[in-house]
Every structure is written in structure tokens, then in C-alpha cells.
Amino acid sequence: MNRRNILWSAVSALGAAFGASRAQAATETAPSNKLKVVYHLSDAEKVNFVLGNIQNHIDGVGGPEHVTIALVIHGPALKAFHSAQANPDVSKRVGDFSKDGVELAACGNTMKAQNVTLNELLPGFVNAEKGGVVRLAELQSQGYLYLRP
């Protein structure tokens, strides 16, 4: 009887140790539950709408620490982000998004077509040198959900 209890205790301890090591390995390799979303903006008349959607998204999930957001802009919409032409509301939102960690990507092809440099855009933008649509595809291949409001 005593040997059976010792054997049972040893098997139980071994099982517990194995279970604990598997649980630790799972938490070390588990992907983040943080949602990744890319917003696509090319229509000039939708600039304020899309910026509002992004703010609502950040607020809806409880803050920027709960979501990873990228905004890819190309075509006519990029003109709204030229620092010389941007309205104060757009400038403020872009500044807030930049502080919140939102990636603000400007299409390199559109920048060339509009004869604008990165320094002439509102602060916080990065150059999507290969193009806005290429950046969209790259982000989607990295697991970003695609939204085009």
C-alpha cells in the first residue's frame, strides 16, 4: 500500500511538472491578442471620416495600447496632409495618432506625383517608398486586418 502511494505521488508530481512546463512554453510563444488594423485612405472627401473612424477605434478598444493601427494614404487624400494646406483639426489628429503609435504611411508614388517630400507633410509620416498599395499588401501579409471606410 505504501509503495502504491509513493508511486502515485511520483506520477502526479511528474504530470504536474510537465503541465507547468507546457503552460509556460505556451505563454512564451503565444501571439499577442492585440488586434492589428490597417486603414486605407485615398479619397480626399473621406479624410475627416477616416480620421474619426481611427479615433473611435482607439477609444472603442480602451486606448492605443490595445490595438496596433496603420494608416496608408495615397492619391488625392494625401493633399490634406501637406503641412502648408492641412487644417488645424487634421494637424491635431495626426499629432495625436503619431503619439499613440499609429503608423502614418504616405505613398512614395503619390508624393512624387504631387511633388512633395516627407518634410513637407505633417510630422509623423513615413515614406511608403514602394507605394501605398504595396505597403497595404505588406501589412496584410503580417496579419493586419484591412479597412477601407
Give the model confidence (pLDDT) of 53-85 as tens digits.
Answer: 999 999 999 999 999 999 999 999 999 999 999
Instruction: Report the pLDDT value the prediction gives residue 132, as an integer from 0 to 100.
Output: 98
Instruction: Report the pLDDT value the prediction gives residue 18, as an integer from 0 to 100.
Output: 46
Residue range 82-98, pLDDT digits in tens: 999 999 999 999 999 99
Neighbours of 78 (CB within 10 A): 23
Q: Sign of torsion, CA 107 112 117 120?
A: negative
Instruction: Report the pLDDT value the prediction gives residue 1, as an integer from 0 to 100.
Output: 54
Q: Which residues contact 121 (CB under 8 A, 6 or more apart)?
A: 78, 81, 82, 83, 106, 111
Taking the C-alpha atoms of residue 120 and residue 135, their distance in angstroms, rounded to an integer, is 21
Nearest to 72 by CA among 109, 100, 35, 99: 109
Residue 13 has pLDDT above 80, yes or no: no
The pTM for the full model equals: 0.78
Q: Name the grid cell of 94.
A: 495626426
Percentage of the chain exceeding pLDDT 90: 77
Residue 29 has pLDDT above 90, yes or no: no
Task: Determine the angle formed by the axes of helices 88-99 and 47-60, rounding to 10 degrees.
Answer: 40
Side chain identity at 39, as an amino acid letter?
A: Y
Q: Name the grid cell of 130.
A: 514602394
Instruction: Report the pLDDT value the prediction gives residue 33, as an integer from 0 to 100.
Output: 78
- Mean pLDDT, range 112-126, rounded to an integer: 97
Across all residues in the chain, what is the average pLDDT?
Answer: 87
